Structure 1
Amino acid sequence: MGDCVLYSVCQETIGLITLNRPHAANSLSSEMIDHLQRVIEDIKNSPSIRCVILTDREGVDGGGGSHGGRHVKAPPHGRGHGR
């Protein structure tokens, strides 16, 4: 995985995903989205993972997305796809 998305397992059943682009307010770049998709796919294929925590590095609040200088907001709550 790239350094922009860190993944670890805690207590054998908890997946911890850490966004690691504090210099860009952890906004979602294309590279970061690719890494997140791979991590999520790995989690889906891991029957021992029962919970996932998404956090950020160094207390930087997420800034939405950054695609070629364009700022993209995250979708409203309830619009995501559950497991």
Structure 2
Amino acid sequence: METKKQLSLFDLSMIVVSLVIGMGIFRTPVNVAKAAQIPELFFLAWIVGGFIALCGALSYAEIGSRFPVTGGYYKIFSEFYHPSIAFAINC
């Protein structure tokens, strides 16, 4: 069964941008720079954090490519664990 597209590419792009970019992107660098006190530690913290975020993103991409089902991670977790666990994880 194929689902109908209800959102355009522009709509989805704007949703992603609004979820990703928030006030934290403007406040966090100042707090990290104050805590680091030296520029090398500041940049190292951002590089390490970016690497950890990249690993998480690649893990989600791998799961999504191996199990291309409608319903996202709820469907995958309910198949492998239990629907109540899948609901709790995806809330």
Q: Same fold (TM over 0.5)?
A: no
The structure whose Rg is larger is 2
TM-score (norm 1): 0.23
More relative contact order, 1 or 2 (CA 8 Å, 6+ apart)? 1
Structure whose residues are more often strand by fraction: 1
